[in-house]
C-alpha cells in the first residue's frame, strides 16, 4: 500500500467514526397541547469531526492524488461537512467529486438531497436518476427520489418509488411511514388500509413501530415518547430518536391541519442538531410549506373581505 492510500485510509476511518454526543434531556411537565415532551440539548460539534476535516484539508492540498482518490476524499469530507451542518461546503465537495468521478453514485445521491432541501426538484430528480442509472439497487436513492417527487407535487409518481423502497425491507417502520405519507396524498382511505396491512409485519420490539401505531390511532403521543426512551443505551441514541419521532409527529399534525402543533414538532426535530438524518433535513422544508399554506390562507381571506365604502 502506497503513502497516498494509507493517508486516504486513515482519513476515511476518521470520517466514518461515530460522533461523540452531549445531549441531555428533561421532561417538560407544563400543561398544554404539547406537555410532557422529552427535550434534548442540541448535539455539540464534535472535536473529532473538526480534526478529521482538517486532515482532509491537509491531504487534499498537499498530497499528490489520482482523480479517483481525490474524488473519494472530497466525498468523505462532504459527508463530514453535512454531519456538522455545513451544507454549503458539503454540496461544493460533492460537486467537485462528481467532476472528477462522474459515476460516483453516492455523490449523485447526496447532492440530490441538497437539491430537495433547496426545493430545486428538477435537479433533484436528475441526481437520483443518475444514481439509479449507475446503481439500480441503491435503496436510499429510491427513497429520496420518491421524497423529491412528493415534495415536488407529484405524489402519484412518488408512490411507485416508495412502494419499491418498502418492498426491500417490509419490517422497517420508516419505510412503512414514508409509504403512507405519500399514499395518503392520493387516496387517504386506501393509505390507511395499506398501513394496517403493513403494520402486521413490523417488529413490536422496534421502538419506531409505535409511530405506526400512533398513525393508526392505537396509541397517543405520550406513549410514543415513552417507547422511544425504552432501552436507550446512550445520549446520542436518545437524540437521534427524538429527531425522528418529532418529525413524524409533526407530519401527522401537518396533514390533519394542526399547523401550530406541527410547526412546534418540526422545530423540536431541528433543535436536536442531528444534521445528517433525513428527518432533520426535511423538517425545515415542512416549516416552509406550513408558512406558505398560512400565507395562502391569509391571502384568500383578504380577497373575500369587501373594500370599505
- C-alpha cell, 99: 467532476
Q: How many CB atoms lie within 10 A of CB 304?
A: 6
- C-alpha cell, 253: 399534525
- SS3 category, 28: strand
Q: For residue 192, how many C-alpha atoms fall within 13 Å in the half-sphere facing its CB?
A: 8
Per-residue model confidence as pLDDT tens for the chain (309 residues): 544 444 444 444 444 343 333 333 333 333 344 555 777 667 667 788 889 999 999 999 998 999 999 999 999 999 999 999 999 999 999 999 999 999 999 999 999 999 999 999 999 999 999 999 999 999 999 999 999 999 999 999 999 999 999 999 999 999 999 999 999 999 999 999 999 999 999 999 999 999 999 999 999 999 999 999 988 888 889 999 999 999 999 999 999 999 999 999 999 999 999 999 999 999 999 999 999 877 766 555 445 555 554
Per-position b or e across 162-201, b if 16+ CB within 10 A of its CB: bbbbbeeeeebbbbbbbbbbbbbbeeeeebbebbeebbee
Q: Are the C-beta atoms of 293 and 259 separated by less than 8 Å?
A: yes
- SS3 category, 25: strand
pLDDT for residue 48: 87
CA dihedral 155, 116, 42, 31 (to 10 degrees): -30
Contacts of 239 (CB under 8 A, 6+ apart): 21, 23, 40, 43, 272, 273, 274
Look at the block and give the residue holding cell 432541501.
117
- C-alpha cell, 88: 454549503
Q: Are the C-beta atoms of 57 and 86 separated by less than 8 Å?
A: no
pLDDT for residue 279: 96
Instruction: Report the distance separating Cα 239 and Cα 41, nearest Å.
Output: 8
Q: Where are the domains of the chain?
A: 169-226, 233-293
Cα–Cα distances in Å, from 147 out to 85, 125, 176, 178, 214? 21, 10, 13, 8, 22
Instruction: Report the distance separating Cα 136 and Cα 287, nearest Å.
Output: 32
Q: How many CB atoms lie within 10 A of CB 262?
A: 22
- SS3 category, 26: strand
Per-position b or e across 62-76, b if 16+ CB within 10 A of its CB: eeebeeebbbbbbbb
pLDDT for residue 257: 92
Instruction: Report the distance separating Cα 45 and Cα 247, nearest Å.
Output: 22
Contacts of 36 (CB under 8 A, 6+ apart): 27, 28, 29, 222, 225
Amino acid at each position: 500500500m502506497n503513502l497516498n492510500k494509507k493517508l486516504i485510509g486513515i482519513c476515511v476511518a476518521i470520517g466514518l467514526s461515530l460522533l461523540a454526543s452531549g445531549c441531555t434531556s428533561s421532561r417538560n411537565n407544563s400543561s398544554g397541547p404539547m406537555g410532557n415532551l422529552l427535550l434534548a440539548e442540541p448535539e455539540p460539534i464534535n472535536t473529532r469531526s473538526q480534526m478529521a476535516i482538517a486532515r482532509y484539508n491537509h491531504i487534499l492540498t498537499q498530497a499528490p492524488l489520482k482523480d479517483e482518490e481525490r474524488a473519494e476524499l472530497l466525498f468523505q469530507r462532504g459527508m463530514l461537512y453535512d454531519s456538522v451542518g455545513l451544507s454549503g461546503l458539503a454540496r461544493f465537495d460533492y460537486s467537485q467529486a462528481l467532476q472528477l468521478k462522474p459515476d460516483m453514485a453516492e455523490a449523485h445521491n447526496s447532492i440530490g438531497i441538497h437539491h430537495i432541501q433547496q426545493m430545486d426538484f428538477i435537479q433533484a430528480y436528475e441526481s437520483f436518476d443518475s444514481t439509479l442509472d449507475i446503481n439500480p439497487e441503491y435503496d436510499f436513492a429510491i427513497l429520496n427520489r420518491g421524497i423529491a417527487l412528493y415534495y415536488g407535487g407529484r405524489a402519484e409518481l412518488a408512490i411507485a418509488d416508495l412502494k419499491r423502497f418498502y418492498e426491500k425491507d417490509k419490517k422497517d417502520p420508516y419505510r412503512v411511514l414514508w409509504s403512507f405519507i405519500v399514499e395518503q396524498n392520493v387516496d387517504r382511505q386506501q393509505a390507511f388500509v395499506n398501513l394496517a396491512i403493513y403494520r402486521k409485519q413490523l417488529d413490536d420490539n422496534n421502538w419506531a413501530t409505535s409511530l405506526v401505531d400512533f398513525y393508526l390511532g392505537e396509541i397517543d403521543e405520550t406513549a410514543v415518547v415513552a417507547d422511544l426512551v425504552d432501552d436507550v443505551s446512550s445520549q446520542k441514541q436518545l437524540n437521534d430518536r427524538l429527531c425522528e419521532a418529532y418529525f413524524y409527529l409533526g407530519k401527522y399534525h401537518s396533514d390533519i391541519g394542526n399547523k401550530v402543533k406541527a410547526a412546534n414538532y418540526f422545530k423540536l426535530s431541528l433543535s436536536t442538531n442531528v444534521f445528517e438524518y433525513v428527518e432533520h433535513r426535511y423538517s425545515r422544508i415542512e416549516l416552509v410549506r406550513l408558512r406558505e399554506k398560512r400565507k395562502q390562507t391569509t391571502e384568500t381571506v383578504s380577497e373575500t373581505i369587501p373594500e370599505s365604502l
